[in-house]
Structure 1
Amino acid sequence: MTKYLLSAVVLTLGLAGCATDGSMNTNTATTTEQLGMAALKIAVNAKCVSEINTIPAWQTASKLMTTEQKQNIETEVCNCVSEKAPYSVTAADLANATFDPNARATMVGQVVSKTVTACVNETFSKN
């Protein structure tokens, strides 16, 4: 499902580029960049949700939680990871990931691994 959603966003980015009048103005660049970041956040969130159970801190902390508590904290952690994602990639990486599925998977995996443990710790220190 994530692959289809990400593909739809990438297709939208491609079509947005085709819809211009040939002059690349700041608004078009900004819109395309925003769409790229939105696609990155969606992919990172999906990867986070699937990977969070491999984090030792999460495994330990979640043993005594109710299902609702686990879901709430998982959502908070993955939102944190998604919000930090744009600061973990360059524009060149994002552009490469737009057209290369392998680069996209690698980039998303790297972003999640760089930020998920910090977000787990951040979430638990607030609660």
Structure 2
Amino acid sequence: MKKLIAVLAPLSLALTACVATNTTTGTTSTTAQSTTQQLGTAAIKIAINAKCTTELNNIAAWQNATKLMTATQKQNIQTEICGCVSDKAPQSVTAVDLATAAIDPAARNTIVSNAVTKTINACVAEAVN
């Protein structure tokens, strides 16, 4: 019973936000939608940043490129790259993905992984240039 409530509560909140957005007009619906999107995007950005760091450290080219760098240099570039990924990756995540990620940890991991994979190479290229 507790598991059912834990699953249905976030889903009902997400659906309520959608219903409220579609049935009301004015700033209230815009504010609710913006807040929901901001919270979802913030959560995804945090997960994306963590995944980016892991993925970046697993790339052989990154490991070779950073061998001669100081820890500070490596950290600064990693922060720049993963900041870029955190900014760009959510653009490839749909509202449906955000809702799914809110209730399904396995889906969240897949969504985050796909978003990082789509953007990490472009951000590495930007950081190098």
TM-score when normalising by structure 2: 0.77
CA–CA distance in structure 1, aligned partners of residues 96 and 20 of structure 2: 21
Residue among 100, 117, 120 paired with 2:121: 117
State the 1:90 CA deviation: 0.9
CA–CA distance in structure 2, aligned partners of residues 23 and 90 of structure 1: 19
Aligned length: 110
Q: Deviations over 1:62-89 (max 9, x none)?
A: 1111111001111111000000022111
CA–CA distance in structure 1, aligned partners of residues 122 and 66 of structure 2: 16
What is the percentage of aligned positions where both structures have the same residue? Answer: 56
* Stretches of structure 2 lacking an aligned partner (at least 5 in a row): 1-8, 22-28
CA–CA distance in structure 2, aligned partners of residues 122 and 57 of structure 1: 15
* Stretches of structure 1 lacking an aligned partner (at least 5 in a row): 1-12
Residue among 65, 71, 87 paired with 2:69: 65
Q: Deviations over 1:82-124 (max 9, x none)?
A: 0002211111111111111110000011111111121111101
The residue number in structure 1 matching 2:51 is: 47
Query: Is it true that 1:96 corresponds to 2:100 in the alignment?
Result: yes
CA–CA distance in structure 1, aligned partners of residues 20 and 110 of structure 2: 33
The residue number in structure 1 matching 2:32 is: 28
Q: Which has the larger radius of gyration?
A: 2
Q: Is the 8 A contact 2:93 2:115 kept in 1?
A: yes
Please identify runs of 4+ aligned residues in structure 1 that moved more than 3 A. Answer: 17-20
TM-score when normalising by structure 1: 0.78
